[in-house]
Amino acid sequence: MSQNTYKQSFGEVETHLVNSIPDRLQLIAKQIDRSINDPWTRAQAIQIVRPQAVGGVAGAWPDGGPSEDEQVARVFWYTKNNIGYLNEANDLYPTAKRTQQLGAEDCDGITIYVCSLLGTLGFTTGAKVISPDGSNWHIYAMAGIRPHVAPSKRIMLDPTQQGSYPGWEPGPQYQRHIYECTFDEGKALWKKVR
């Protein structure tokens, strides 16, 4: 994976030549780590999972706060309802904050967004990369739950697809080729499933 950096009117831009799915996953892990280390991401995540305001006043937290399932669901539905899906010809790997500013992104950017928000809340996150034919790849987020710090269950999160919900995945005909990974401190711990 090679990299170049350019200064633009809207900030600094890095370009990367990504040669493989593992390269793609490493770059996504790097952007998730950058996002988690940005205080904006934690503030955004808390805003999303906090109880809804009633009459302009934030709701009270239930004992212990929202459950893991509820936090994951709130991040999923917020993303699905507020971040548009763009099928881009060139893969871009923005931070979570940039995706929020743009209001739309491709599956890579949305995966970074979801994993960053959940990661800053303490969830173990990862991704699943699938393809029906070995050349047309799609990626979506995974979150570990029960408990999120040492998960015994994982939930798939693909807010890019019409009719999707927390736990939904594309059908087996789209999963003939699969990579899975866990993101950990800027690294993607990946394996090829098939």
Grade residue 150 by pLDDT with cuts at 50, 70 and 90.
confident
Interacting residues of 80 by C-beta distance below 8 A, sequence separation 6+: 159, 164
Instruction: Give the start-to-end residue ranges of the domains of the chain.
Output: 13-50+66-192
Examine the pLDDT at 6 and tell me if it is beyond 60. Answer: no
Do the Cβ atoms of 157 and 166 come closer than 8 Å? yes
Grade residue 59 by pLDDT with cuts at 50, 70 and 90.
low
Examine the pLDDT at 10 and tell me if it is beyond 80. Answer: no
**Alpha helices (runs of H) in 5-129, residue ranges in sequence order:** 21-36, 39-49, 68-82, 96-102, 107-120
Higher pLDDT, 93 or 78: 78
Nearest to 143 by CA among 164, 122, 165: 122
Encoded amino acid at 97, one letter: K
Do the Cβ atoms of 179 and 129 come closer than 8 Å? yes
Quote the CA–CA distance of 173 and 124 in Å, as a whole number. Answer: 28
Examine the pLDDT at 13 and tell me if it is beyond 90. Answer: no
Grade residue 50 by pLDDT with cuts at 50, 70 and 90.
confident
Grade residue 88 by pLDDT with cuts at 50, 70 and 90.
confident
Q: Which of 7-16, 25-34, 49-58 has the highest mean pLDDT?
A: 25-34
Place of tokens 């059908």: 171
Do the Cβ atoms of 83 and 107 come closer than 8 Å? no
* Coil, helix or strand at residue 90: coil
Examine the pLDDT at 57 and tell me if it is beyond 60. Answer: no
13-50+66-192 folds as C8orf32 fold (3.10.620)
Place of tokens 């928000």: 117
Phi, psi (rounded to 5 degrees) for 178: -140, 135
